[in-house]
Amino acid sequence: MIRVLATCALALAPVPVVGERVLSIGGSVTEIVYELGEEDRLVGRDSTSTYPAQATALPDVGYIRQLSPEGVLSVNPDLVISETGAGPVEAVELLRAAAVPFVEVSDGYTEVAVLQKIRDVAYALSVPAKGEALAAEVSADLDAAKAMATTDRPKRVLFVLSTAGGRITAAGEDTSAEAIIEMAGGVNAVEGVSGYKQLSDEAIARAAPDVVLMMDRTGDHAITDDDLFAHPAFAATEAARTRSVVRMDGLLLLGFGPRVGEAVRTLAVALTEAGS
């Protein structure tokens, strides 16, 4: 499932010597590179690559969807590995013009997709065996976590992305948040809406969450529990009654990288403890 955008450059080079100077775009890709033990080959990262902490010492070429073409070239990469959705298109095309191989790994919020992503990154780095080993390890870890998380009384979880301006943006169907909630034995409280959407107060009341899940970040996410539950939308919910809020690191929770098992475990424990 590797899509190599710079296939021409690769095909024409007799012995492609790439991957000594790797630019990693996307938090989960960077995590995988570190888990594979290939971090010495990294020369740069994007702004979503914040784990492990050592990664933040690398030059930051900007947000994954708003890469600066010259910024990308300035770290002088001979290989770019990226999550799906790197952009803008113009920046990616300029990389091709400069004959920098650009590998976009597969994406998705299932166990299969995570394992494929790991294999893709390992293949791009020419360490497929390490990739298989890591995939097996992550698979076992995730299976164990999911088994642990299984419950016959799943809680209704509302993932709140933002409360900016007093309006609640929450995760609907087909989102990374829904996927991780379900892996952790919960159900997404929001039904019939797809993507991350601003919800009306009534829609939230109807969603009737047992637990509110948020990203553990600063800025407008740093709303206090009191402020959150003072919001009229939550007034009548079970979550407000039991004051159940779970806050997790965004990259861990929604990254779908090698730590996906840890994410499931952490969330499952938090959901069990919430409100009890």
Partner 1 sequence: MVALADTTAASRAMTDRGQLARWVMLGLAAALILLCGFSLFVGATGVSPVALMIDLIAGRDIDLRARVVIMDIRLPRLALGLLVGASLAVSGVVMQGLFRNPLADPGLVGVSAGAGLGAILAIVLGGLLPSALGAAMGYALVPIAAFVGGWLSVMALYTVATRGGHTSVATMLLAGIALAALVGAVSGILIYLADDAQLRTLTFWGLGSLAGATWGKVLAAAPLMLIGIVGAPLLARGLNGLALGEATARHMGLDVQRLKRLAVLLVAAAVGAAVAVSGGIGFVGIVVPHLLRLSTGPDHRFLLINAALLGAIILIVADMIARVIVAPAELPIGIVMAIIGGPFFLWILLRRRGILEM
- Per CB under 8 A, residues contacting partner 1 are 44, 47, 59-63, 65-66, 68-76, 85, 87-91, 93-94, 97-99, 175, 194-198
Counting Cβ atoms within 10 Å, is residue 10 exposed (0-12), middle (13-18) or buried (19+)? middle
Q: Report the relative pairing of strands 3-4 and 102-104 from DSSP bridges.
A: antiparallel
Nearer to partner 1, 86 or 223 (CB): 86
Nearer to partner 1, 4 or 73 (CB): 73
Residue 206 neighbours by CB distance under 10 Å: 14
Least spacing, CB of residue 64 vs partner 1, in Å: 9
- Nearest Cα neighbor of 55 from 68, 44, 64 is 44
Nearer to partner 1, 163 or 237 (CB): 163
Amino acid at 28: S
Nearer to partner 1, 93 or 273 (CB): 93
Phi and psi, residue 182, nearest 5°: -70, -40
Q: What angle do CA 48, 165, 177 make, to 5 degrees?
A: 40
Least spacing, CB of residue 113 vs partner 1, in Å: 16
Least spacing, CB of residue 147 vs partner 1, in Å: 30
Least spacing, CB of residue 215 vs partner 1, in Å: 14
Nearer to partner 1, 54 or 76 (CB): 76
Least spacing, CB of residue 217 vs partner 1, in Å: 17
Q: How many Å apart are CA 234 and CA 205, to the nearest integer? A: 6
Nearer to partner 1, 97 or 230 (CB): 97
Tell me the two tokens of residue 257: 């990288």
Least spacing, CB of residue 264 vs partner 1, in Å: 22
- Residue 155 near residue 274, CB atoms below 8 Å: yes
